[in-house]
Amino acid sequence: MSKRRNNYVLAVLFFFLLKDIFIQSYEEGVGYIMYLAFGILAYTTLVIERLPKLKEITLNKTLVFVSILLITANTYTLHVIMNMIGFVFESTTQVAMFYMYGAFMMILSVSAVAYNNQANSNRSLLFTFMVFAFILSDVTSLFAYYFGIEFCYYIDRVSYLLGFAFLINYGLNFSLIREEKQQLEQLIGNEYAEIEDFDYSAFAKAYSEEFEIADSKASLYTFLENRNAKDG
């Protein structure tokens, strides 16, 4: 586990802690804005943590379809919620922050699906569960608070706690990291066994130095292309 990745997890936990502190003054203008701001920072940190890998994703029809479906569903949900609770906003800043919060929810959900599509590992699945647990918590908390739907409070709290459990497991579970690395090594062995002079150790060294955790098939292609270009 890298110190950098530990810091990402700690930063997300810290932002969620501050978000929960400001929920105490949720009905005040500044309190509401700060609540949304720290939620946005938490989601942004999760996206940034995955960003180096997301740059290497190879698009396919399934990923594009699911991404469009998620963006459409999130946009529609955001629009419906806005129409329902728009009357509670006291300023344009609150409206802008609300839409920004929803936008980062969409970005995070798409990044989770893309990561799972890319790595197809238990760790990527855990990340996906974590993201959708937090999103479910956000949505149900709105319905519970503004419409008095009692059972939504229970869904909100359970989802929120599950999200934290998934986050800690994702960030600090060394066995999942090793398992994900082994899956890539197996992928390399299966797809490039015919390449007799393939330098596995060089790939592992180059990959580990830059990314620290092997979880991208696209990185293998990039490494091979760079090596061939250098040799040529």
**Could you tell me how far CA 213 lies from the centroid of its own chain?**
16
- What's residue 211's pLDDT? 42
d(CA 208, CA 181): 10
Q: Residue 82 pLDDT more than 90?
A: no
Q: Residue 224 pLDDT more than 60?
A: no
Q: Given 148, 172, 196, which residue is the final one in a domain?
A: 172
Mean pLDDT of the chain: 77
- What's residue 79's pLDDT? 75
How far CA 179 is from CA of 54, 103, 151, 221, in Å, comes to 20, 32, 38, 21
How far CA 220 is from CA of 15, 173, 204, in Å, comes to 34, 24, 10
- What's residue 18's pLDDT? 95
Q: Which helix (H) or strand (E) holds 54?
A: helix 29-54
Q: Please name the amino acid found at residue 177.
A: I
Q: Residue 111 pLDDT more than 60?
A: yes
**What's phi and psi for 205, nearest 5 deg?**
-65, -45
Q: Residue 150 pLDDT more than 50?
A: yes
Q: Where does the pLDDT of residue 195 fall: very low under 50, low under 70, confident under 90, or very high at 90 and above? A: very low
- Whether 27 and 73 share a structural domain: yes
- Whether 152 and 219 share a structural domain: no
Residue numbers of the domain that contains 55: 3-172
d(CA 2, CA 172): 10
Q: Residue 208 pLDDT more than 60?
A: no
Question: Rounded to 5 degrees, what angle do the CA atoms 83, 98, 126 make?
Answer: 110
Query: What is the count of structural domains for the chain?
Result: 2
Tokens of 210: 């830059």
Q: What is the mean pLDDT of residues 37-45?
A: 95
Q: Given 152, 172, 192, which residue is the final one in a domain?
A: 172
Q: Please name the amino acid found at residue 202.
A: A
- Whether 87 and 126 share a structural domain: yes
More confident residue, 12 or 63: 12
From 71-75, 95-99, 189-193, the region with the lowest mean pLDDT: 189-193
